């Protein structure tokens, strides 16, 4: 077995360092991907919770109207000022919003 020269030793250390750098980059990418997946779960849960709250608020208002505790005209006026999309306005029998109203 021949004795390694200092140049050979430096080359071996560089090769080992490059190998470790590649492993580090792979592990870092894997962890980043895992973090992004978990963040997406949080974002999706928040969005679903927000949608559920809106549905429940709508159900509560609709129940109040059905019970006669709220006037349906009051809700219709509120929706008239709130809704901009014609397809949404049609759900409440509201006329389409003209371009001059926007």
Same domain, 43 and 82: no
CA 60 vs. chain centroid, Å, equals 26
Instruction: State the pLDDT at residue 101.
Output: 57
Instruction: State the pLDDT at residue 98.
Output: 76
Q: Round to whole Å and give the CA distance between 8 and 14.
A: 10
Residue 2 has pLDDT above 90, yes or no: no
Same domain, 16 and 62: yes
- Write the DSSP assignment of 4-26 as a string of letters: PPHHHHHHHHHHHHHHHHHHHHH
Instruction: State the pLDDT at residue 1.
Output: 67
Q: Which two tokens stand for residue 60?
A: 């509560």
pLDDT in tens, 80-101: 999 999 999 999 999 998 744 5
**Which DSSP letter does residue 3 get?**
P
Same domain, 33 and 83: no
Please, what is the angle between helix 72-82 and helix 6-66, to 10°? 150
Same domain, 35 and 25: yes
Same domain, 65 and 75: no
pLDDT in tens, 60-85: 999 999 999 999 999 999 999 999 99
Same domain, 35 and 82: no
What is the span of the domain harbouring residue 77? 71-102
Q: Which two tokens stand for residue 20?
A: 């470790």
Residue 5 has pLDDT above 70, yes or no: yes
Q: Round to whole Å and give the CA distance between 10 and 17.
A: 10
Residue 102 has pLDDT above 60, yes or no: no
| Number of independent structural domains in the chain | 2
**13 occurs within a structural domain:** yes
Same domain, 13 and 38: yes
**91 occurs within a structural domain:** yes
């Amino acid at each position: 077995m021949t004795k390694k020269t200092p140049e050979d030793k430096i080359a071996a250390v560089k090769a080992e360092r490059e190998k470790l750098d590649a492993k580090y980059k792979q592990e870092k990418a894997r962890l980043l991907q895992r973090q992004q997946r978990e963040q997406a779960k949080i974002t999706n849960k928040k969005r679903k919770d927000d949608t559920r709250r809106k549905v429940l608020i709508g159900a509560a208002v609709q129940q109040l109207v059905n019970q006669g505790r709220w006037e349906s005209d009051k809700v219709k006026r509120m929706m008239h000022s709130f809704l901009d999309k014609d397809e949404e306005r049609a759900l409440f029998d509201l006329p389409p919003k003209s371009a001059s109203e926007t």
